[in-house]
Homo-oligomer: A and B are copies of this chain.
Amino acid sequence: MDNYKEFIGFLAAVLTTAAFLPQVYKTWKTKDASSLSLPMLVIFFIGIVCWLIYGVLIDSPSMIFANSITLISSFLLLYFKLTYKKP
């Protein structure tokens, strides 16, 4: 029963984590972050830190796995946004 729950959670984790990879790749490749919102990236990054803590607190393997990788992706997007920012 719990395995089935964790399968859905794991699938969710894989999808929302994988989702940011084409975005990171596209932004890195095109050096264009113009239509990404800076407040979005900042708030999202802080939020992912909180989700990671929550995942640890409620002992959810899917959340810990997903949010660790998403933390890296969102850090990269934030870095790109600041680096590629138009003057």
Which residues of A are interface residues toward B (Cβ below 8 A)? 5, 8-9, 11-23, 25-27, 30, 32-37, 39-41, 43-44, 46-48, 50-51, 53-54, 57-58, 60, 62
Give how many copies assemble into the complex.
2
The secondary structure that dominates the A interface is: helix
13 A-B contact pairs sorted by A residue (CB < 8 Å): A5-B57, A8-B53, A9-B50, A15-B47, A17-B47, A18-B47, A19-B47, A21-B40, A23-B40, A25-B37, A26-B35, A26-B40, A32-B34
| A51 and B12 contacting across the interface, CB-CB below 8 Å | yes
A12-B47, A14-B47 are known; give 16 further A-B pairs, CB within 8 A.
A5-B54, A5-B57, A5-B58, A8-B50, A8-B53, A9-B50, A9-B58, A11-B50, A15-B50, A16-B44, A16-B47, A19-B40, A19-B41, A27-B37, A34-B35, A35-B35
